[in-house]
Amino acid sequence: MFAYHLRLALLSLRRTPAVSLLMIVAIALGIGVSMTMVSVYTLMANDPIPEKSDVLYAVQLDSWSPDRPYDEPNEPPTQLTWRDALALAERSPAGLKRTAMAGTGFVAEVPGAGDVRPEIVSARAATADFFDLFQVPFLYGSGWDHGSDQDAARIIVLSRALNEKLFGGEDSVGRDVRIGSEFFRVVGVLDEWQPTPRFYDLNTGAFADTDDAFVPLSLLDRHQQDWGINGSVNCWQAPSAEGIFPSECTFTQFWVELPDEAAVQDYRAFLDAYVQEQKKLGRFQRPLNNRLSNVHEWLDVNEVVRDDNSVLLGLSFMFLMVCLLNTVGLLLAKFLGRSGDVGVRRALGASRARVFQQHLTEVGLLGVLGGVLGLALAWLGLMGVQRLYVDYERVAHLNTELVAIAIGLAVAAGLLAGLYPAWRICRIQPATYLKTQ
Amino acid sequence: MLKMKGVSKVYRTDMVQTSALRDFDLVVDEGEFVAVTGPSGSGKTTFLNIAGLLEAFDAGTYELDGGDVSRLGDDARSRIRNEKIGFIFQGFNLIADLNVFDNVDVPLRYRGFKAAERERRIRESLELVGLASRVRHLPSQLSGGQQQRVAIARALAGSPRFLLADEPTGNLDSVMARQVMELLEEINGRGTTIIMVTHDPELARRAHRNVHMLDGQVTDFTEFEAAVRVREVRAAAAGA
């Protein structure tokens, strides 16, 4: 019977092309606008590391000015000073995976490969646990061990994209990359890895690309002058002539894996003890205000999904509702306009349920067509978002899941809009229309 | 076969209350051809709608084909309409978007017949009304008489026990009306019970029996020779 109802639905669309097109466009507009917002919102609100987002914690210590908070009302800095990050990396309880890191950059080239252009590399200096902590996948080789951290070994891990550029995608483990006048041995090549949002360092944009290369953090200490910091540096007092590394400026991030609530409490106590110790040295003059935020909390703290995005999402669904209400009106007019035909069908043996199914099938078809057109509009909308906001390039796109959601939403919306008109038409008294048709 | 006893139907609005049928009694035997006549507003169409299970009534009982159908639900009424009753309307009531084949197909779809069975029945009923060559025509491409014959084919395709016709020749010229009437007589001759509402006394006279209605009640009851002959033949057959 479904095939029969579908055929009748197609006939009906052909009979009233203008009204049908209006309904399809109404649904498509609602779906297009809401899916544009949903696709941006869902990717913004995406859990970038679902297996560990509850156990990975970003650390904040309030080393800011005694005169004012870092941010109102009493927020500590979102990054740590270099010395605090190193201290936490070194003194955190044994057995806890943790990583201190900072963004940096340099120009890398392959020695002896004249046909390969030097590449400007956005790099991350981090301690050894970085890869294990964030479940970074490797195509070739691996990360490095704690010994390499301590020795400031000249080693490097390349992203897949950089390995493509420098080595044509070959297994480059064991080969050298020249940075300045020094050679760095490739120990690993990452597979595709693009956590979205890029939760581990939100300072250069929540939706920025992952880094091109990774080196031990201890190397950054040695290359303060030539590599520098690639990211956000925040200072509440001017650094001394020795530069920002020994200063109270914040530019490093610190993450730790805490498997349960007891571990969280213990680590909080450890942080408090560390800050109390630093207070005795004249630092940390603000009241104790350490923070531990898991990945979800961290994304909230950094307002990755801003309130205006939520408002826009709500508005887009309200717009969808308006489109659906228009569709309800058009459907009512269309369905009731064919009361005579329905009266005949009822007289010939169609039950109310059959009439209801017939009309819902038509509405479902309108929903599918509206969904397909809506997807095209959503795609256009996302192109517009990409043009307007460069930062949103990564989140402003459709994927298979969103396409399925759009079609599902369109059909569901269409059916919802069609429930009342279909119910109305199946309740008509056939005798009323048979004589007058 | 069709038995109504004490049937009443009142239409109510906020302001007005109208009795369409009042204590209406009628029995129609199997194989009969009954013409229902009467002035406008006498309750003919209401009677036909109730007989066809298209409308509920307020009081009385209605037995159809040996079963009480007075208080059936929508599904059961739809099933009986589909399986036992065929309708012919003054305005033909063909579905404009569907061609002849698909119009005749409508009741068969709701009956749940397989495609081959539906096609056989459609072909046979269109053969009977002489329109087998017009299966792909739309109603708008047919004359009034042809449209009514398609409606008759549609009514017959499901092999109903009853044919309810509401002014079936009302929109036709005299030639076409005569053809349709002859077709109805032929169908009745094959054993289908027909109840026909008409204003035309000539047509009414061709039925076995004429029921005249006024103010929602039967006021006159004329049994024509044909009906007498039918009863006599049946009685003889039963005796033999």
The ipTM value here is 0.88
Of the candidates A345, A351, A431, which has its C-beta nearest B49's C-beta?
Answer: A431
Of B207, B192, B186, the closest CA to residue B161 belongs to: B192
Give pLDDT, residue A437. 46
B164 → chain A, closest CA residue: A347
Residues A282 and A266 in one domain: yes
Superfamily covering domain B31-40+73-239: P-loop containing nucleotide triphosphate hydrolases (3.40.50.300)
What is the distance in angstroms between the Cα of B72 and the nearest Cα belonging to chain A? 13
Would you call B90 an interface residue with chain A, using a CB distance cutoff of 8 Å?
yes
Give pLDDT, residue B160. 92
Would you call B231 an interface residue with chain A, using a CB distance cutoff of 8 Å?
no
B169-202, pLDDT tens digit by residue?
888 888 888 888 888 999 899 889 999 998 888 8
| More confidently predicted of A267 and B168 | A267
Give pLDDT, residue A396. 67
B21-31, pLDDT tens digit by residue?
999 999 999 99
Number of separate domains in chain A: 2
Residues A130 and A263 in one domain: yes
Give pLDDT, residue B120. 96
Q: From A301, A335, A366, give the residue that closes a domain.
A: A301
Contact A349 B83 (CB under 8 A): yes
Of the candidates A11, A15, A351, which has its C-beta nearest B75's C-beta?
Answer: A351
Residues A421 and A313 in one domain: yes
Contact B82 A354 (CB under 8 A): no
Give pLDDT, residue A292. 96
Would you call B167 an interface residue with chain A, using a CB distance cutoff of 8 Å?
no
Contact B54 A347 (CB under 8 A): yes
Q: Please, are residues B70 and B60 in contact by the beta-carbon 8 Å criterion?
A: yes
Residues A60 and A161 in one domain: yes
- The answer to whether residue A209 is domain-embedded is yes
Give pLDDT, residue A435. 64
Which chain B residues are within 8 Å of A12, Cβ to Cβ? 97
Report the alpha-carbon distance of residue B73 to residue B81 in Å, rounded. Answer: 12
Strands (E) across chain B are located at 2-12, 17-28, 33-37, 59-64, 67-68, 85-89, 162-166, 193-197, 209-214, 217-223
How far is the CA of A400 from the CAs of A374, A403, A413, B36, in angstroms? 15, 5, 20, 65
Contact A429 B55 (CB under 8 A): yes
Q: From A273, A301, A329, give the residue that closes a domain.
A: A301
Report the alpha-carbon distance of residue A283 to residue A161 in Å, rounded. Answer: 42
Contact A349 B111 (CB under 8 A): yes
A7 → chain B, closest CA residue: B98
Percent of chain B exceeding pLDDT 70 equals 92
Task: Look at residue B34 and tell me whether its pLDDT is greater than 60.
Answer: yes
Helix (H) or strand (E) holding A270, with range, is: helix A261-280
This prediction has a pTM of 0.70
All residue ranges of chain A with pLDDT < 50 are 437
Candidate ranges A187-191, B44-48, B88-92, B216-220; pick with highest mean pLDDT:
A187-191
Contact A11 B97 (CB under 8 A): yes
What is the distance in angstroms between the Cα of B229 and the nearest Cα belonging to chain A? 33
A30-54, pLDDT tens digit by residue?
989 988 888 888 777 788 899 999 9
Lowest mean pLDDT among A71-75, A337-341, B95-99, B233-237: B233-237
Q: Please, are residues B102 and B150 in contact by the beta-carbon 8 Å criterion?
A: no
Which chain A residues are within 8 Å of B166, Cβ to Cβ? 434-435
Average pLDDT over residues B140-154: 92
Give pLDDT, residue A395. 63
Residues A90 and A197 in one domain: yes
Residues A252 and A188 in one domain: yes
- The answer to whether residue A51 is domain-embedded is no
Residues A104 and A226 in one domain: yes
Q: Which domain holds residue A158?
A: 56-301
Which chain A residues are within 8 Å of B55, Cβ to Cβ? 429, 431
Residues A38 and A145 in one domain: no
Residues A87 and A101 in one domain: yes
What is the distance in angstroms between the Cα of B77 and the nearest Cα belonging to chain A? 8
Query: What count of other Cβ atoms lies within 10 Å of the Cβ of residue A228?
Result: 16
Report the alpha-carbon distance of residue A103 to residue A126 in Å, rounded. Answer: 9
Q: From A301, A330, A359, give the residue that closes a domain.
A: A301
Would you call B103 an interface residue with chain A, using a CB distance cutoff of 8 Å?
no
Residues A120 and A264 in one domain: yes
Of the candidates B45, B52, B97, which has its C-beta nearest A435's C-beta?
Answer: B45
Would you call B162 an interface residue with chain A, using a CB distance cutoff of 8 Å?
no
Residues A68 and A198 in one domain: yes
What is the distance in angstroms between the Cα of A2 and the nearest Cα belonging to chain B? 11
Residues A108 and A210 in one domain: yes
